[in-house]
Amino acid sequence: MVHPVIRKLEAIEPLTDTERRKIDSLVRDVGDVARKTDIIADGESPNYVHLILEGWAARYKVLRDGSRRITAFLIPGDFCDLHITILDAMDHGIVALTDCRVAYIEQATIDEVTRSTPALTRALWRATLVDEAVLRQWLVNCGRRNALEAVAHLLCELHLRMQLVGLAANDRLDLPVTQEELADATGMTPVHINRTLQRLRNEGLIELGSGTLYVPDVRTLRRACDFDSAYLHLLSSRSVGSEEKRY
């Protein structure tokens, strides 16, 4: 079985067989995390880097009034805290949204890999920078798009990212995320998320139920929220040298 990490990294940087095997070798120590429990808590400085193998997780911050802001969704192939090798402590928490299978990778191992394999270093760097680009899109989502566009854009992102790791065959994917979690991720309320999803359904843009999302026509959905995949810096969309959007 090909690790989702490999699929993900290959989408943004071509890899050789040796490099692929190197990644494979990272996954030694594997563990399970139950839904609703922290993979890493805010303020922690773990000795291991965490990599999601199965399941969904989320970066989040909790405010003093108890409200929560999700700042990213993590799916198989995503690193939770690559930066912990550089920064002192986590400035946010990471919670498992479903039961998760997680790889624990020693910092020393990462250091060794980056020292010996420049292409992988680039790939990891790249992945981090793409995460940052996603954050910027989320910022656009909440400040300058209406609810419908914001949710649509988020769904487009998740759809594409799931595709990259081979988890969205036929435009159908597991979306094991509650509406409350979607609300925390878009800065809306659960009630309004519910109504927005209903509008998306009524307009035939999505089919969503029992944890599964189906996108009848990706083009239409992307056009509805002006989704341009360029910000994900995928190899496939690079240097296409075109002015029109890649819906």
Partner DNA sequence: CGTCGTTTTGATCGCAGTCAAACGTCGTGG
Partner DNA sequence: CCACGACGTTTGACTGCGATCAAAACGACG
- Interacting residues toward DNA by CB under 7 A: 146-148, 178-180, 187-192, 194-195, 197-198, 209-210
The entry of its own copies, DNA, none that residue 195 binds, CB within 5 to 8 Å by partner kind: DNA
CA-based nearest residue to 96, from 212, 17, 177: 177
Q: Is 239 one of the binding residues for its own copies (CB under 8 A)?
A: yes
The distance of closest approach from Cβ of residue 216 to its own copies in the complex, given in angstroms and rounded to an integer, is 23
| Minimum CB distance to DNA smaller for 46 or for 187 | 187
Binding characters for its own copies, 144-183, by CB under 8 A (x = yes): xx--------------------------------------
d(CA 213, CA 159): 9
The amino acid present at 28, given as its one-letter code, is R
Q: Is 226 one of the binding residues for its own copies (CB under 8 A)?
A: yes
Q: Is 244 one of the binding residues for its own copies (CB under 8 A)?
A: no
The distance of closest approach from Cβ of residue 120 to its own copies in the complex, given in angstroms and rounded to an integer, is 13
CA-based nearest residue to 31, from 3, 44, 50: 50
d(CA 96, CA 104): 15
d(CA 146, CA 215): 20
Taking CB under 8 A as the criterion, the residue among 21, 28, 36, 83 binding its own copies is 83
The distance of closest approach from Cβ of residue 157 to DNA in the complex, given in angstroms and rounded to an integer, is 18
Phi, psi of 167 (to 5 degrees): -115, 20
| Minimum CB distance to its own copies smaller for 106 or for 228 | 228
Q: Is 135 one of the binding residues for its own copies (CB under 8 A)?
A: yes
d(CA 162, CA 165): 5
Which range in 158-166, 200-208, 213-221, 230-238 contacts its own copies by CB under 8 A? 230-238
Name the token pair of 99: 């039961």
The entry of its own copies, DNA, none that residue 192 binds, CB within 5 to 8 Å by partner kind: DNA
Q: Is 186 one of the binding residues for its own copies (CB under 8 A)?
A: yes
Go through 161-180 and write b for each residue having 16 or more CB atoms within 10 A of its CB, e for each that does not. Answer: bbbbbebbeebebebebebe
CA-based nearest residue to 127, from 79, 56, 162: 79
The three-point CA angle 51-55-57 to 5° equals 70
The distance of closest approach from Cβ of residue 22 to DNA in the complex, given in angstroms and rounded to an integer, is 38
d(CA 223, CA 213): 18
For residue 62, the cross-strand partners are 68
Q: How many residues interact with its own copies (rule CB under 8 A)? A: 43
| Minimum CB distance to DNA smaller for 75 or for 103 | 75
Instruction: State whether residue 198 is helix, strand or coil.
Output: helix
Binding site for its own copies (CB under 8 A): 43, 59, 61, 63-64, 67-69, 71, 83, 86-89, 91-92, 122, 125-126, 128-133, 135-136, 138-140, 142-145, 186-188, 226, 230-231, 233, 238-239
